[in-house]
């Protein structure tokens, strides 16, 4: 398949404005960061794409204007399981409890769009004794326990207008919208399926672009994410698609945004002055990000060069997308011998693009690394504890 003319955005993919400028370019990144490969050679030959990050100074949205959706293909091998971290589990439990308590979702019907393995839907069902309907084309039926299956029905398909008959009191959609090139089309479809059920609470969660911009989270840039939402751009998408925003929060220490909405009879008035101030603030961070992107890459290249020169043993901890981007931007070769991940389904596989083997933490006893580079500062204590338990005391650095 080749890119169709309609896949090239004419303006901002969140608000349509032409006030767009590109600010970071990354060439030849693996298209599927989370898709691991069975051997080193095939991992090295993984398909690649281009990232041209663009910023809209009208709504504060960031997006990859070089994104080609025809390259994407979600399969059952797609593995996106933050869920293996105890900390993330606890966060998801608290979120499920908040939605159930805040909106009195008890004994009701809940839809989760892009439900993955149904973990979050199961939490919402359990907290409120609800009935769950999940939609995900990558769902593997045999993975579900009998206990979960009793409460939940999962459809191995994209959620679309043909499922409008499945009514819901709560619709959740977590970490889906950032994968969609034209988010307004997706949200408009959800609005259509909600129809006149004005009490249906619609909750979306996406990564927060401000977290990436503020912390120079350059390893958060991945091909799969074509949309990077800010508070004003997320609000604008839902407003323009006929939703009333009830709450819009930064979540998970600012890493995510969560939006609670209900259907509106007509789209609300256009953005207010507060939004314009937000956008100007984001604009400043975008400029700074662009300036410091190159220097952060240069700093890591020089560190990796020093470690290579003294034959230090280096491991990357975190087989998620950040780890894959880190390796692919820096391309450290043999200097980084392996990537640790606690998800047993990833272990034994190979990193797209650069080809490191993914190993269990216990494998580090063999490697005895001098340096462990961790991808997310949030997990620092958790990882330090695991290393200590293994009898290892490497220098721990945050990427």
Least distance in Å: CB of 52 to Zn ion?
16
Tokens for 46, please give them. 């993984």
Q: Name the residue nearer to Zn ion (CB basis): 57 or 89.
A: 57
Q: Name the residue nearer to Zn ion (CB basis): 181 or 356.
A: 181
Site for Zn ion, rule CB under 5 A: 12, 14-15, 17, 56, 58-59, 61
Cite the beta strand spans of the chain per DSSP E: 20-30, 48-56, 62-64, 109-113, 131-135, 152-155, 170-174, 201-207, 227-228, 243-251, 256-263, 314-317, 336-340, 357-359, 371-374, 395-398
Q: What is each CA distance from 386 to 273, 391, 393, 398, in whole angstroms?
A: 48, 9, 10, 16
Hey, is 264 helix, strand or coil? coil
Q: Name the residue nearer to Zn ion (CB basis): 229 or 317.
A: 229
Tokens for 336, please give them. 């980084």
Least distance in Å: CB of 15 to Zn ion?
3
Q: Name the residue nearer to Zn ion (CB basis): 80 or 230.
A: 230
Least distance in Å: CB of 90 to Zn ion?
35
Q: Name the residue nearer to Zn ion (CB basis): 11 or 137.
A: 11
Q: Quick check: 105 and 128 in contact, CB under 8 A?
A: yes
Distance CA 138, CA 7 (A): 23
Least distance in Å: CB of 233 to Zn ion?
6
The edge-to-edge listing of strands for the beta sheet with 201-207 is 152-155, 131-135, 109-113, 170-174, 201-207, 256-263, 243-251
Distance CA 193, CA 119 (A): 24
Q: Name the residue nearer to Zn ion (CB basis): 237 or 371.
A: 237
Distance CA 221, CA 66 (A): 13
R_g over Cα of the chain: 21
Q: Name the residue nearer to Zn ion (CB basis): 272 or 362.
A: 272
Least distance in Å: CB of 58 to Zn ion?
5
Least distance in Å: CB of 389 to Zn ion?
48
Pairing of strands 62-64, 48-56: antiparallel
Distance CA 188, CA 238 (A): 8
Least distance in Å: CB of 61 to Zn ion?
4
Q: Name the residue nearer to Zn ion (CB basis): 57 or 343.
A: 57
Distance CA 240, CA 7 (A): 21
Least distance in Å: CB of 221 to Zn ion?
19
């Amino acid at each position: 398949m080749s890119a169709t003319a309609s896949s090239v955005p004419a303006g901002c993919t969140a608000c349509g404005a032409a006030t767009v400028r590109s600010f970071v370019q990354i060439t030849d990144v693996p298209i599927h960061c989370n898709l691991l490969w069975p051997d080193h050679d095939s991992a090295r030959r993984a398909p690649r794409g281009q990232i041209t990050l663009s910023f809209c100074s009208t709504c504060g949205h960031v997006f990859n204007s070089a994104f080609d959706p025809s390259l994407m293909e979600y399969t059952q091998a797609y593995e996106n399981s933050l869920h293996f971290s105890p900390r993330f589990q606890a966060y998801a439990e608290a979120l499920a409890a908040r939605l159930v308590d805040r909106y009195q979702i008890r004994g009701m019907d809940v839809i989760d769009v892009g439900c993955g393995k149904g973990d979050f839907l199961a939490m919402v069902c359990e907290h409120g004794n609800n009935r769950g309907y999940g939609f995900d084309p990558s769902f593997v039926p045999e993975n579900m326990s009998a206990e979960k299956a009793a409460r939940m029905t999962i459809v191995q398909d994209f959620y679309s207008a043909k499922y409008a008959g499945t009514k819901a009191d709560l619709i959740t959609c977590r970490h889906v919208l950032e994968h969609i090139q034209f988010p307004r089309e997706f949200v408009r479809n959800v609005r259509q399926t909600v129809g006149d059920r004005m009490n249906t609470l619609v909750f979306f969660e996406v990564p927060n672009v401000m977290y990436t911009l503020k912390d120079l989270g350059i390893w958060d840039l991945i091909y799969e994410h074509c949309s990077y939402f800010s508070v004003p751009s997320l609000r604008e998408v839902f407003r323009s698609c006929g939703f009333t925003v009830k709450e819009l929060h930064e979540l998970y220490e600012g890493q995510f945004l969560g939006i609670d909405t209900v259907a509106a009879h007509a789209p609300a008035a256009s953005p207010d002055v507060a939004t314009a101030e937000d956008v100007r603030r984001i604009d400043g961070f975008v400029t700074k990000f662009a300036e410091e992107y190159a220097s952060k890459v240069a700093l890591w290249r020089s560190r990796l060069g020093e470690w290579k020169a003294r034959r230090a043993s280096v491991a990357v901890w975190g087989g998620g997308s950040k780890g894959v981007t880190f390796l692919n931007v820096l391309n450290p070769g043999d200097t980084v011998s392996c990537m640790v991940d606690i998800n047993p389904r990833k272990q034994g596989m190979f990193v797209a693009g650069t080809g490191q083997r993914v190993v269990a933490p216990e494998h580090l006893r063999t490697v005895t690394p001098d340096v462990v580079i961790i991808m997310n500062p949030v997990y620092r204590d958790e990882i330090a504890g695991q290393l200590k338990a293994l009898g290892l005391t490497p220098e721990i650095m945050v990427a």
